[in-house]
Structure 1
Amino acid sequence: MIAAASALAAKTAALRPAAQRAAFSSSGAARAVSGRIAVIGGGQMGSGIAQVAATHKHDVTLVDVSQEALERGRGYMAKSLKRVAKKQFPEDAQAQGRFVDEVLGRVSLSTSPAAAVGDAGLVIEAVVENIKVKQELFAGLAAAAPEGAILASNTSSLPIARIAEPLSAERKRRFLGLHFFNPVPQMKLVEVVRTDAADQQAVDDAVAFVKGIGKVPAVCKDTPGFIVNRLLLPYMMEAIRLLERDVASAQDIDTAMKLGAGYPMGPFQLCDYVGLDTIKFIVDGWHKEGQGLVGDKLFAPSAKLDELVAKGHLGVKTGKGFYEY
């Protein structure tokens, strides 16, 4: 996955256009919500973002390193849209088909990042969680995109300002985080993450875009975990430590939090859904180099989590984690 993302970054740098266009005026939020949306990364997150934008009448270009990856992404969208169509038009098969075709018709596929962002008002990156890959990718995207375009990362754990380090001061003013949640078509929240370098207009434009695609924005500073993961990860790690101390079983802890706190999922169900490897990657990174979190006991390594990941028991995606599926 990292290799594919690196290839995407290299292709972006190699295909920079000779001239850039400032495709939008400086008149407020219309810049962000009109014009083409380019989504870099055709996995489940990227295809979900593309689907939602296209559903709300945006022309979208979905970009990945190969045609095979793009067709997979298109398949994710088609499957999801068919479910949506059945709910919207339960008694009308023809209307269902038209709905799916119309939304997919707004999504173009491309293996050329530079070409895809040439007329984009908003570029959203959704590739592997690797800081160097993202930096290389955005260096190329910044050279190819219109001057007024917003550049945004969908990262869930990496510092937005660090991703933007290779960019010019002007580009940094319109660079921020747009953190969607999985599955994108169902989850309403988008965290809009602002760095110290981002200007207020960029934040306002991003908020307008988020509202325009039927999502709810929550604006926050560029801090480890933003809002949701900063609160969620300690919760999940403390649940794992309760299990390690033999305070209660995973099932009883889940039951307690669902019935006692009103949560739709218990912490272990949630861990398995997110992916134990993802949780370990985030907490290990924060414990080693997270701003203000280095050495924090909340994010100290967990023997139980390390053991499950080492065995390849990563949760729902592998059929086994804290539970079996």
Structure 2
Amino acid sequence: MKPPAYWFDGSRPPLHARLLARLYGAATRLRLKLLRPRKVARPVVVIGNLIAGGSGKTPLTIAVVERLRAEGWTPGVASRGYGREQAGTPRWVEATTDPRLGGDEPVLIAARTGAFVRVDKDRVRAARKLIEAGCDVVVCDDGLQHYRLRRDLEIEVIDGRRRYGNGWLIPAGPMREPAARSAGCDFRVLNTGVDDALEAGFGEWPMRLQTGRVLPLAGGRPLPLSAFAGQRVHAVAGIGHPERFFDTLREAGIAVVPHAFDDHHRYSAEDLQFGSDLPVLMTEKDAVKCMRFVGERHFSVPVSAQLPEAFWIALLDRLRALAR
């Protein structure tokens, strides 16, 4: 669902939204007072954001899992699996799991990393299952506001262009929690996407999303993204901020015919019928949900999160200290 324009365009939210935002804030504070966080037997790293919608959490989650495995850890991923069917049923997620049951982001993470991925509305229970399976660190994809699971490290991901919008709480603005909450996070990662003009501020780590190849969804050899430079394509994005994907393609010299869908949209074959035979490029998150009806003109554009080596050194040092 597209957010109201006043969240990000500088205009004043309507009175009813501001009143509801105050009620939302009061309810959030009350919930925090009543909660008693549960600790699990291994370190927990939560990757999340303070605004509603996407900010680049999943690419960072994948990067963290891959780096931890390279350093000898056995990470497991806990996720709610937002928007999935049978949401009350916990399950293990693999690359072959139907995204309708496992959730689009968990299936993508499983496919990219090969790590244990557990979806469960109860993240404490998910974390314990991952530890029983042999994981020595639990990485939560999203869940910054899921305080029932005690976390050892928090990583906030910030959209480099939109940041906190107007700063108001939902529904007057995009904030799930007040901006002051950011100061309590151990790491603050600024998603600059492909925009070299965006710079991280004090206390922020820059994260750039790199695209190197394009994958034909019907099978075949990967292509460089540059192979589509100078062409018109249909660009499909059902993510929190579709313009980020469209801008990535434009930066590569591709003429974009944009098709934005709601985050976690459930695709049908009709959604990809655009009345012309142009190539269709989509995000990985969308591609995992479209495999049943793709053809030779459909492609996925994977992205990889690139962060300074100093970020990884700092994160690994903190984790090693926790594991002692």
Q: Give the TM-score normalised by the residue count of structure 1.
A: 0.36
**Higher relative contact order structure (alpha carbons within 8 Å, sequence separation ≥ 6):** 2
More strand by share: 2
